[in-house]
């Protein structure tokens, strides 16, 4: 049986605009705050027939009491429908040892099992070091969208871009 290919997307900063606080992206709390990142809808449409489109997102604000699971699920459901994503994997933990919390690869490996994905032919697109770490650990090709956040990128991505549209030159 032939394996599937996937594009794994981070949520805040990749699929939707993220509010920036102290030079770092934060999660949007409510659906009415959601603004899709420029060109993301077109990118999802382009790859829909050749790749599984899967969102992998850390949402520790629930565990920290900053947001509700309901608000997070409403936003994720909206994005799944609007961008025609195949699935959404969420880690609500704020424990760095949690296997599903990026930079750990748990969410990607869960998706691999569920959908029979060839990770070496798959991509992870992220805007933070945690995303790239998870993609690298899962053996995906990683694409880092450099938004010049005030944080050190601990992991090296296979590709670094400035705008999401540049992935059209990378993913065939």
Q: Which of the residues are catalytic?
A: 10, 12
**46 vs 134: CA distance, rounded Å:** 24
State residue 118 phi and psi, 5-degree precision.
-85, 100
**73 vs 60: CA distance, rounded Å:** 13
Element (H, E) at 143: strand 141-145
Instruction: Give yes or no for a contact between 91 and 76, defined as CB atoms under 8 angstroms apart.
Output: no
Instruction: Give yes or no for a contact between 151 and 128, defined as CB atoms under 8 angstroms apart.
Output: yes
State residue 45 phi and psi, 5-degree precision.
-60, -40
């Amino acid at each position: 049986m032939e394996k599937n290919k996937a594009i794994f997307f981070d949520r805040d900063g990749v699929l939707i605009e993220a509010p920036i606080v102290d030079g770092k992206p934060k999660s949007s709390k409510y659906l009415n705050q959601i603004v899709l990142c420029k060109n993301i809808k077109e990118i999802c449409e382009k790859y829909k027939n050749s790749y599984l489109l899967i969102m992998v997102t850390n949402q520790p604000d629930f565990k920290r009491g900053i947001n509700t699971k309901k608000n997070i699920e409403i936003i994720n459901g909206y994005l799944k429908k609007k961008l025609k994503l195949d699935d959404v994997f969420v880690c609500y933990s704020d424990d760095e040892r949690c296997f599903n919390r990026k930079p750990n690869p748990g969410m990607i490996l869960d998706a691999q099992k569920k959908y029979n994905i060839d990770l070496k032919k798959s991509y992870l697109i992220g805007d933070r070091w945690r995303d790239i770490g998870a993609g690298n650990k899962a053996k995906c090709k990683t694409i880092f969208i450099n938004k010049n956040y005030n944080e050190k990128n601990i992991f090296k991505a296979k590709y670094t871009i400035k705008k999401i549209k540049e992935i059209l030159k990378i993913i065939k």
